[in-house]
Every structure is written in structure tokens, then in C-alpha cells.
Structure 1
Amino acid sequence: MATAHPVTVRGTDLSYVDFGGPGAPLLALHGHFGRARGLAALAARLAPAHRVIALEQRAHGSAAPVADVRPDAYLADAAAFLTDHLGAGPLPVLGHSMGGSVAYRLAAHHPDLVSRLVVIEGPARNEPPVLDARDWPRRAAGLAELRALLTERVGQVADYFLESAAEHPDGWGLSFDPETLLRSQRALLGDWWPDWLGSACPALLLHGEDSTVLPTAQAREMTARRPDTRLVTFPGRGHWVHDEDPAGVAEAVLAFLRGW
């Protein structure tokens, strides 16, 4: 059974979801605008072989407000969570999008903590544009209305953002601060190739062929340039490939973690 736990990491109040089970632990890291519980469908398919523990990262979900959303802050949080709170490592680390960047940077800067690396749609170079949610609806009368308003903005991936929906005294809204996440995305723009190439553990890169975030040419280059790295591409899928095809993604991840 999935259980949410509060945790203080490097002086910041965060939380994590332990999806439970008898399997070997695996650290999972969501992307921008995501939440730990949003990895539930994937975690269910990785069980019972793997017990997924998903960190809800700074500036997301129920985390305390923070000013520092530089990539190094996310990296330091993940390392501290592993060493100070899980007391585990090395173990497999999986990340989506921004969480994928945190994961491969963790492998590069703390190789003793990462045994295998799974990156879902996490580019080695992040290009504009970023997602500006500052003009998104702040409140709606109900969850159904909020879903409809978000669907007008982002289409079929509205459910990803609705993981951050919460009821407030004046209606339903999203828990993240759009201005903070805009700064966070901008801080991640640029070239992270040295970190992608900076680790030696086996790696799996999962790519949605229709993604607007990770171009197919870059996904192939990332695989070609980094030793012991495999690429699995999903035709007809986009940036949220693990939500679009959780069974297919889980199959690839399980095969990789078994040592293919």
C-alpha cells in the first residue's frame, strides 16, 4: 500500500511516497509540475520486484515554499534523502524529465549512490520554450471545472497536472507556484552533457517519439555517446510516455533492471 511520509531534507520540508512491497528499493523522481504520487501506475507495474520510493521534490506538491530552485538544490536533496533518510545505496534511480536530469546528475556526482540509471525523457541539453503557467486558472468551483479549464490549456495530459489539485476555502486550485516553477525550468535550460556522460553505471533512456521536449536525434546521440546505455523509443507517445504507456515502460524498465 502506498504511504506518504513527511520528511525534512537539508532543512526543507518535503515528503515522499513509499509504494511498499517486498522488492528491492528504487528511488523515483518526478518532473516539473509533477508529484510523487503521480508515479503510482508505474510503481504498481514494477512491483513486486521493486519497491518504488518516490521523493516529492522541492517546490512541488506539499513541499514548503522555497526560493532556491537551482538544479544543484534538487541534486543535493536527492543525495541527502538517499543517505540521511533511506540509508540506502547504491540502488536504481529512475527519473522523468527534470527528475531524469536530477537522476543522471546524481549518478555523475554521487556514483556510490546509483547502481542503475533509468531516464524517462530527460534531455542532456534543455532548449526553450518552457511551460509558463502563470496565466492558468487559480481557482475553480470544483475539480471537474478545474479539469475542464486545464484541458483547454494542455489537452490530454491534464491529469498529470491535476495530481497537484487541492481543495481550498475559496475553491479548487493547483498547489504549485507558477512563478517558482518558471524559474526552476529556466534554471535547467542549457547544456548538461558533462553530467550525462559523467557516470559509468548501466543506463536506460526511454523516449516518446512524439515528444516536444527530447528530440529523437538527441535521444540517439545521448545513447551513442554514453557507454553501456540503451535506448527504447515508443512510437506515437510523447513526453509523458510513462503515463501514456505505463505497461510498456514498466516492461522495459523491468528487463533493464534484471540486467539485460
Structure 2
Amino acid sequence: MNAVTLEHTDVRGLPLAYADFGGSGRPVLALHGHFGRARMFAPLAAALAPGHRVIALEQRAHGRSGRDGNVHPDAYLEDAAAFLRGLDAGPAVVLGHSSGGVTAFRLAARYPELVDALIVEDHGALNRQPDIPHPVLDISDWPRRAGSLAELRRAVESRGIPDASYFLESATEYPDGWGFLFDLDELMESQRRLVGDWWPDWLGSTCPALLVHGTDSFVLPTAMARAMAERRPGTTLREFPGCGHWVHDDDPAGFAGAVAEFLAAL
């Protein structure tokens, strides 16, 4: 992926990076999921320009943002709220992928004055066994360092990841080899903290919402996606057959089109 310029700001005492893709249109705050980076939203930002200004936050413990050891879901939530207030960009459309989607719908529930529409890409209102067989991706044995980027890819893919490209967006070269910008133990803990029942927050807002679901997802079962849309008034469900958890990668044009259509109808 092409380089994306990151800016930095102090959010609740922690330096957080973000990518402001520019434009004078309606602001869209974009929140990546676990292991993600702000730059994953560059294609969407290009597709939505110039009518929307996409601002992607690189969340705590990820990418070039700072860490303080706190990876509780409330920390991500309060960061997003403070970031929006600091930009004076609210109320905004808030879009989140995966765990970023949980932060997004919790933000809409807890701080409705900051959110006038919600887009959640492939995460459920329930994130625990047996409904979700594997709510935590075990990365505890991934290498801390590898001799090359290709070696790091091979090591990750040898652990059951078919394509490590998403994770390698967070790879960088250190003096002692290639590794990740995130800490493996910290993101294991972050995932464990997200295990639970998030239905009250999903149902706790009234703004228009778009739920994007890849029918081959291992994170959000189709039955749960349909129940989420049925139980929450004002929610539109868009299903993408043949797509998995990363709809924005599996069908970039379709994903951008669904988002654009939803935004146009607001």
C-alpha cells in the first residue's frame, strides 16, 4: 500500500497518530480493528472524495500511536470521543472495522452528540464462545523478530494465516530484524478484553446505521448480522457473498459503493 502521511496529536495524555485524507465535506471518523493501521482506509477515502473528509485514527497500541498499557475497550472508546472533540469534527459519521466497529457503536451509544450516523464493518454484538468459536486470535507464538519481511510473512502464514498482508501493514524493520509495530502480548490482552456481550451498546443508539457483513466471515455469523439489523431500528444490512471479515479488501469497490450509498441517503 502506498505511504500515507500521519499526523500526531495528544489524546488524553497519549500521542496518537491519524491520517486526515482531506476535503471539506462531511467528516467520517474511521477506526481500524485489532492489528490494523489508519492507512487501510486510503482507498475508501479516495472513493468518497471530495464529498466526505475521511479521518482515520491510528488507535492506541497500534501503528505509530503511543501505548500506556491500557487496552480496555473503554480506553479505545474515550480516545475516539476525545479525538473527535479535539478536532471539533463532531457530530460525525463514525465507521469502524472489526473491533473498531465495537468502539464505533459504543461511541454512538455513550456519546450520541458526537455521532450522527454509524457504519460497522463485520463485528457482532456478541463476541464470546460458543456463538463465536474463536473470539481471540492466538498470536502468542508469532516471532518477535525475523531476518527479512519475507521471512516474517512465512512465519505468520505457517501459523494458519492464509494471507498475512493485513498484519504486515504493521511490520517494520528494527536494528535487530523485522517485527511488528504492535506488541504481541498487549494485543492478546486487548482481544481478551473485547470478549463479551455488547448487545446493550449496539441497541443503545438511534442514529442511522449501516452494518456491512461478509458472509464468509469467521467473526460475524450471518444469523447474528441479521438479528442485529432486525433488533435495531434504522439499521441497514449489506451482505457481501463470498467476502470474509475484511470486506474492504475482498471487494473494495463494493464496500465503497455501499458506504457511499448509505451516506448519500442521510
TM over 0.5: yes
Q: Which residue of 2 aligns with 1:82?
A: 84
The answer to whether structure 1 residue 204 and structure 2 residue 206 are counterparts is no
- Indicate if the aligned counterparts of 1:3 and 1:20 stay in contact, CA closer than 8 A: no
Q: Distance in 1 between matches of 2:17 and 2:212?
A: 26
Is the deviation greater in 186-195 or in 19-28? 19-28
Q: Which residue of 1 aligns with 2:96?
A: 95
The answer to whether structure 1 residue 104 and structure 2 residue 110 are counterparts is no
Q: CA deviation at 1:167?
A: 0.7
Q: Distance in 1 between matches of 2:77 and 2:123?
A: 14
Is the deviation greater in 224-233 or in 157-166? 157-166
- Indicate if the aligned counterparts of 1:209 and 1:238 stay in contact, CA closer than 8 A: yes
Q: Distance in 1 between matches of 2:52 and 2:222?
A: 29
The answer to whether structure 1 residue 148 and structure 2 residue 149 are counterparts is no
Q: Which runs of 5+ in 1 are unaligned?
A: none
Give the letter for the 2:66 counterpart. A
Q: Deviations over 1:167-220 (max 9, x none)?
A: 100111111111111111111111111100000000000000000110100000
- Aligned with 1:73: secondary structure? helix
- Indicate if the aligned counterparts of 1:45 and 1:246 stay in contact, CA closer than 8 A: no
Give the letter for the 2:54 counterpart. V
Report the RMSD for the aligned CA atoms in angstroms: 1.4
Alignment of 1:1-260 (within 5 A): 2-84=4-86, 86-128=87-129, 129=134, 130-259=136-265
Q: CA deviation at 1:41?
A: 2.1
- Aligned with 2:9: secondary structure? strand
Q: Deviations over 1:231-254 (max 9, x none)?
A: 001011111111111110000000
Q: Distance in 2 between matches of 1:79 and 1:191?
A: 21
Give the letter for the 1:165 counterpart. A
Give the letter for the 1:149 counterpart. A
Is the deviation greater in 195-204 or in 147-156? 147-156
Q: CA deviation at 1:156?
A: 4.2
Q: Deviations over 1:103-143 (max 9, x none)?
A: 00000011011111000012101124201212112212222
Q: Distance in 2 between matches of 1:241 and 1:153?
A: 22
Using structure 1 for the length normalisation, give the TM-score: 0.95
Q: CA deviation at 1:32?
A: 0.5
- Aligned with 1:258: secondary structure? helix
